[in-house]
Chain A
Amino acid sequence: MDILISSLFAGLLIGMVLALVALGLNIIFGVMEIVNFAHGEFLMVGMYTGLFTAQATGMEPLLTLPVAAVVGFLLGIICYYGFIKFLIRGPMVAQLLGTFGLMLFLRNIALLIFGSEDRALHHGILVDKSFDMGMGVIVPATKLTAAGLSVVAFGAVWLLMNRTKIGKALTATALNAQGARYMGIPTERMNALAWGIGGGSVTIAGALIVNFWSVNPFMGLLFTMIAFAIVALGGFGSVPGAFFAGLVVGLITEIPGIWDFFTYTFNFDWMNNVPMTSLKYMWVYLAYFVIVVVRPRGLFGWKQ
């Protein structure tokens, strides 16, 4: 029983962290229908920013989050004005491949500057701390903080989108860019803003998770793929959808744990030999595939 509870709990927790990573991708897609392959690389930039700011100044890694947010925001804006602006005029295939080029570019710049070593934080209040909550549930402090931040960030973005003028302008741009332009909304600037917010939110996530995970220039792609799955599951552009989809994906990555529970409960020997952990991410992709085929809008999507 302990295994089941701790698996479910860990699944929800990691789900919230992954949702935070996917939030930026969701905003960008929601506003301007472009799939950003470089999303995981943005995360990597956030991780390096957090790491080096903390190491260079010796300050508490948590305090580097604003720095990372600023870097991410600027990176998003620069990418938009320097590159994406031109890209969105072209056909979809060019958009996809263009952001893939951006991904290769950022990754190899990082490789050139930082080298291929894995780097990790050595100090800070979150590093190597965890709480035992009984019932076999053990919560690492970093993940708990990241999960908390995830809830806050989603709340903030939801408020921004639904309760402020800028949010309404963003939504209008998303729904009908041309119409929005006629209404006097500077859609160009709105797109840039979406990239800024998207970039900033993912670099914050990066600066936070570097407390737990080590970073190297090649780590982006897996996060990109998971973020794709989350965004598609939740429905492209739906903020609450992305959050719940994050939880779902988190639970899916815990399928091996749930499998273990059944293995020990029923004590079937053959169940022990199924390579569940090797297929951990396959379930995510499979769920994603099934959902988009059955319900292309995603679980909570409003945009067809």
Chain B
Amino acid sequence: MKTAVRFGMVVLGVLAVVGLMVPSAALAAKEIKIGVIYPLTGGAAAAGRELRAGAELAAKIANNVMTDISMDMAKNSGIKNMGGAKIKLIFKDHQGNPTIGADLAKKLILDDKVDGILGCYHSSVTKTVSAVCEQYGVPMINGTSTSPALTKRGLKWFWRTTPHDKWFTKDLFELLKGLTEGKVRGVKAVPKKEIINLASACEKTEWGSHVSDIIKSLAKEYGFKLKKSLLYASKSPDLSSEVRSLKAVRPDAMLFASYTSDAILMVKTLKAQKAAPKIIWGQDAGFEKPEFRSTLRDSIVGILTRTVFLPKVAQIKKVAGQVNTLYKKNTGNDLGGASARAFTGLQTWVHVLEKAGSTKPADIQKAANALKIPGKELVVPWAGIQFAASGDEIGQNVLGSGLIGQYQKDKDGNLVLEIIYPFDVATADMIFPFSF
């Protein structure tokens, strides 16, 4: 009897603890809270670390006066129009799970009372988080998710700075077209029939299946023949049947959308199977990760990947070089596609707040829709940031652009990504055709 009572008390106690968790303390003065939702643990934790470092660096630059960086936000301490209010980032971990992401967004909005949200890397998580933000009328800026569908939903509280997969894939087809027209640095015009046959393999996820669809439609538009287009189960232990299936159609170019482990296995299997396409192109993600490079080493020379930021950009662009030095001092690594875009995402937040002059959602919305950041402010090689306020892609940055890099060896024998596209900023001659 007594035990049962005690037991009941425990149950009640547990429930009561859950119930009485009161909301956290009231807003401190002169502080702007931005909730940042990234995959800090789970399969994409490595990317999460980069993203976090990028966003933290941007916040540091915004909150302090840094004369050695030629950016507007480095000139002031905090947000000038709001009396020097400081940016405070609250990091949350979504583990790559959309449901957890939505829960965290609710928590940030209702419990932590954030003024805005930044995130979330995985497109599937960004989808649920942006839906929550829309419901509560809290602005969200997304810097790193590239699924085109995100900005096609007509959301009023969601802005995306990064270009999406359709642009990136279009870049690839522009490159292929450029090859036939002799526009590529170091390569003579290639007859179209030599690179007309394509094959694509994308992972079977939200992101991969979108990319696959885009490749299909763009191939038709540009007059290439997509002989084979397959989706494979990600984190597969073996890809040899997929590779044989691709090989069987004798494609001139193979296009992939894969995360790290699959990208490594795919290239290894391609090599083992002695597949010999003239072009291998990866849709960022796995193809840009340090592990991809360190595992496969010299066998990736000649592989192309789309990206938004390469260390080479730091040589062309002064601002990028300055930020990169600082980033390298903090983390030991160069800025990458993920960290540079996270940096830009938070930088956009700073500009939006500066323009809005308050944290009222309506003011932020107005400021974001009228925002225009010139390209010289940014670390990424874009023409600037300006969001579409109408049309079928509301909230999408229209001034972004992508890069296509190629793994090459520099004169010291190190593997570096050289810029191949856009043609006018190419840093090296393209290696064509590719061979293992």
- Asked if the two chains touch in their complex, CB atoms less than 8 Å apart, one says yes
Contact of A14 among B240, B264, B268 (CB under 8 A): B240
Using a CB-CB cutoff of 8 Å, which residues 112-131 of chain A contact chain B? 115-120, 122, 128, 130
B217 within 8 Å of A (CB atoms): no
Q: Please, how many angstroms separate the alpha-carbon atoms of A250 and B105 in the complex?
A: 44
CB-CB under 8 A from A216, the residues of chain B are 43, 261
Q: How far is the CB of A97 from chain B (nearest CB, A)?
A: 21
Using a CB-CB cutoff of 8 Å, which residues 99-155 of chain A contact chain B? 111, 115-120, 122, 128, 130, 132, 138, 140
A6 touches B264 (CB 8 A): no
Using a CB-CB cutoff of 8 Å, which residues 188-244 of chain B contact chain A? 201, 204, 228, 230-233, 235-238, 240-242, 244
CB-CB under 8 A from B242, the residues of chain A are 256, 277
B235 touches A128 (CB 8 A): no
The secondary-structure label for the interface of chain B is helix
Q: How far is the CB of A177 from chain B (nearest CB, A)?
A: 34
CB-CB under 8 A from B291, the residues of chain A are 117-120, 214
Q: How far is the CB of B216 from chain A (nearest CB, A)?
A: 11
B24 within 8 Å of A (CB atoms): no
A218 touches B231 (CB 8 A): no
Using a CB-CB cutoff of 8 Å, which residues 278-304 of chain A contact chain B? 278, 280-281
B299 within 8 Å of A (CB atoms): yes
Contact of A280 among B45, B241, B261 (CB under 8 A): B241
B241 touches A254 (CB 8 A): yes
Hey, what's the 0/1 contact readout for B302-321 against A, CB within 8 Å counting as 1?
00000000000000000000
Hey, what's the 0/1 contact readout for B332-365 against A, CB within 8 Å counting as 1?
0000000000000000000000000000000000
Using a CB-CB cutoff of 8 Å, which residues 139-172 of chain B contact chain A? none
Q: Interface residues of A toward B: which range? A: 35 or more
A130 touches B272 (CB 8 A): yes
A281 touches B228 (CB 8 A): no
Q: Can you name 24 A-B residue pairings with CB atoms under 8 Å?
A: A3-B244, A111-B41, A117-B46, A117-B260, A120-B295, A122-B297, A140-B272, A216-B43, A218-B235, A219-B237, A219-B261, A254-B241, A256-B242, A257-B244, A257-B245, A264-B248, A272-B228, A275-B230, A275-B231, A277-B242, A278-B233, A280-B233, A280-B236, A280-B241
Known: A128-B271, A128-B272, A278-B232. 11 other contacts (CB 8 A): A3-B248, A7-B241, A10-B241, A14-B238, A115-B46, A213-B237, A214-B260, A214-B261, A216-B43, A222-B235, A280-B241
A residues neighboring B (CB under 8 Å): 3, 6-7, 10, 14, 111, 115-120, 122, 128, 130, 132, 138, 140, 212-214, 216, 218-219, 222-223, 226, 253-254, 256-257, 260, 264, 272, 275-278, 280-281
